[in-house]
């Protein structure tokens, strides 16, 4: 049984006010997302927590079905230069890891975080799971687990658009699965 009130108090303690509960069964998992990873993403095969170093799309769908609740955290950011987003991502993901740990310790043993964007805990990713420098902290993104973020957050009224330039504000989402 998920203690939503207690968890929301924890989220606020960590400075998060922009979050939305979602039934994990409403998290859309699709093969097209994995195709976009495999063809067109320069991080494919180059980071330890991205495809192909992740379960299959069908396994991901089964994984989400093991949970009864999930929280989507919304982050909005505009960066001056494309490379600036990595430092921002590192800082956001580190803070989210601290939250995941506290949720776990509060009695939610299945707590599992999906990072807002590629891991970025290290300035240079080691590239393979075997060489990962922080395997205890590395987490996949929703997209790495086949989540169609567009189709998942739109019905919740959350902003999400394809951007044509980095000077447009980004809307990014991290997911926290709890049971």
Give the DSSP H/E element, type plus range, for residue 20.
strand 19-22
Helix %, strand %, coil % of the chain (to 5): 35, 15, 50
* Three-class secondary structure of residue 87 per DSSP: helix
Would strands 112-114 and 170-178 be described as parallel, antiparallel, or unpaired?
antiparallel
User: Is 141 among the residues that bind ligand SF4 (CB under 6 A)?
Assistant: no
> Does residue 94 touch ligand SF4 according to CB under 6 A?
no
Figure out which of the listed residues 7, 22, 28, 47 binds ligand SF4, where binding follows CB under 6 A: 47
Does 49 sit near ligand SF4 (CB under 6 A)? yes
C-beta of 160: minimal distance to ligand SF4 in Å? 24
Sequence-distant (≥ 6) Cβ neighbours of residue 68 within 8 angstroms: 2, 23, 24, 179
Which are the contacts of 145, defined by CB distance < 8 A and separation ≥ 6? 29, 54, 55, 60, 63, 64, 114
- 9 or 98: CB nearest ligand SF4: 98
Give, as ranges, the residues between 110 and 129 that touch ligand SF4 (CB under 6 A). Answer: 119-122, 125-126
- 51-90 footprint of ligand SF4 as x/- string (CB under 6 A): ----------------------------------------
Decide if residue 152 touches ligand SF4 (CB under 6 A): no
Binding site for ligand SF4 (CB under 6 A): 47-49, 119-122, 125-126, 132-134, 137-138
């Amino acid at each position: 049984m998920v203690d939503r009130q207690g968890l929301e108090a924890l989220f606020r303690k960590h400075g998060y006010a922009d979050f939305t509960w979602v039934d994990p069964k409403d998290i859309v998992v699709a093969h097209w997302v994995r195709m976009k990873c495999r063809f067109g993403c320069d991080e494919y095969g180059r980071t330890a927590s991205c495809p192909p170093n992740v379960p299959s799309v069908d396994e991901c769908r089964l994984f989400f079905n093991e949970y009864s609740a999930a929280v989507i955290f919304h982050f909005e950011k505009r960066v001056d230069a494309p490379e600036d987003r990595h430092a921002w991502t590192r800082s956001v993901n580190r803070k989210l890891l601290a939250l995941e740990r506290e949720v776990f310790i509060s009695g939610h043993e299945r707590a599992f975080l999906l990072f807002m964007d590629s891991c970025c805990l290290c300035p240079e990713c080691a590239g393979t799971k075997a060489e990962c420098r922080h395997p205890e902290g590395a987490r996949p993104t929703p997209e790495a687990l086949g989540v169609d973020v567009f189709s998942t957050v739109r019905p919740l009224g959350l902003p999400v658009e394809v951007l044509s330039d980095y000077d447009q504000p980004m809307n990014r989402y991290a997911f926290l699965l709890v049971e």
